[in-house]
Amino acid sequence: MANPSLLILPGDGIGPEVMAQVKRIIDWFGEKRDLAFDVSEDLVGGAAYDKHGVPLSDETMAKAQEVDAVLLGAVGGPAYDNLDFSVKPERGLLRLRKEMDLYANLRPAQCFDALADFSSLKKDIVSGLDIMIVRELTSGVYFGEPRGIHTEDNMRVGVNTQRYTEAEIERGARSAFELAMKRNKKLCSMEKANVMESGILWRDVVTEVSADYPEVELSHMYADNGAMQLVRAPKQFDVIYTDNLFGDILSDCAAMLTGSLGMLPSASLGQPMANGRPKAMYEPVHGSAPDITGQGKANPIACILSFAMALRYSFDEGAEADRLEAAIEKVLADGARTGDLMGPEGGTPLSTVEMGDVILAALDDSL
């Protein structure tokens, strides 16, 4: 059988630096675990603009549609800040999400014990935390029509529309239930059914879908209460499913429970392809970090954890994803830190490559 295929798009700034470590990890799985990937690499963002005059060429877009999963670094940077909106680096990212129809955005909030002190919350509240927020990514108030700013009675009026079809709610809900089945079989759906009709429909549709997943314990919560509960007692959750706007806010809030931006992976999933794998793109949450680009300071863990998500959600290699996450847990417990993870006690930070070295050594130890 052919190897599964991966398209790597390192992008700009620290993107290529952190992706270089992911490539070493991918090679390790090929050599040591008989899990080889057909890897191709291409340009996105400012790097693509420099070569092609667009932040994502049609050829790269076509490749992204063909592969089993896309792995992206980061895009953007000061050199591109003044470009026309239509060719800004971020447009490359948006084109990928839109044309691959990636409607379910998965943002885990996982707190490694060794980093629990980095959280703004008390250690016992976040220690061992492992939750997943599934945000509907392609509809809702960011896309609904009518929208715009117009004038009524000599007064400017700003309009956005929260609009969801039942099909849109349902397909995201199925992704969330499937995830819950692979985790602790608990799903909490969040909306504002008390004040929004779209919230009432959201609750109804999620409840209907739950009939197909009798093993999953479903609960509903108003999103404002959800925000409160996330900082009060986040460990009560396993998977959370919510809309585009609430998900934007709640996932950032949950992310900060765990400490550093350099630790946060994400996945965006779409419809299953002919081979049963979902359309998928995996990327760290952080940006291109121009302030540390080229200095060997970037933490590669968010990007490496994004590859672990690919192993789990695209390639059904949950045990190998566990192995990679355990290796990261181990090096952190042993005190390995890049600059962004240095506490007040100080010490010498590892470079990006050195962090890659110790993770590879921990992977070797796991055999």
Contact residues: ligand NAD, CB under 6 A: 14, 18, 74-77, 90, 93, 261-262, 283, 286-292, 298-299, 302, 340
Q: Catalytic annotation on 192? A: yes
Q: Is 182 assigned a catalytic role? A: no
Least distance in Å: CB of 364 to ligand NAD?
Answer: 24
Catalytic one of 101, 130, 142, 357: 142
Active site residue 12: no
142 catalytic residue (yes or no): yes
Set 117, 252, 291, 364: catalytic member: 252
Nearer to ligand NAD, 119 or 198 (CB): 119
Return d(Cα 81, Cα 284) in angstroms, integer: 21
Task: Give the integer Cα–Cα distance in Å for 140 and 163.
Answer: 5
- Angle formed by the axes of helices 197-210 and 166-182, nearest 10°: 50
Which of 68, 248, 279, 297 is catalytic? The answer is 248
Tokens matching residue 306: 């994004």
Catalytic residue, candidates 23, 192, 297, 330 = 192
**CA dihedral of residues 144, 179, 115, 299 (deg, nearest 10):** -70
Helix axes 15-32, 352-365, angle to 10 degrees: 20
Q: How many CB atoms lie within 10 A of CB 164?
A: 24
Q: Kindly state the smallest distance separating residue 298's Cβ from ligand NAD, in Å.
A: 4
Whole-angstrom distance, CA of residue 87 vs CA of residue 45: 9
Count other C-beta atoms under 10 Å from residue 247's C-beta: 25
Q: Judge whether 224 counts as a catalytic residue.
A: yes
Nearest distance from C-beta of residue 256 to ligand NAD, angstroms: 12
DSSP-derived 3-state class of residue 229: helix
CB of 341 to ligand NAD, least distance (A): 8
Q: Which is nearer to ligand NAD, 114 or 205 (CB)?
A: 114
47 or 75: whose CB is closer to ligand NAD? Answer: 75
Residue 226 or 270 having the CB closest to ligand NAD: 270
Residue positions annotated with a catalytic role: 142, 192, 224, 248, 252
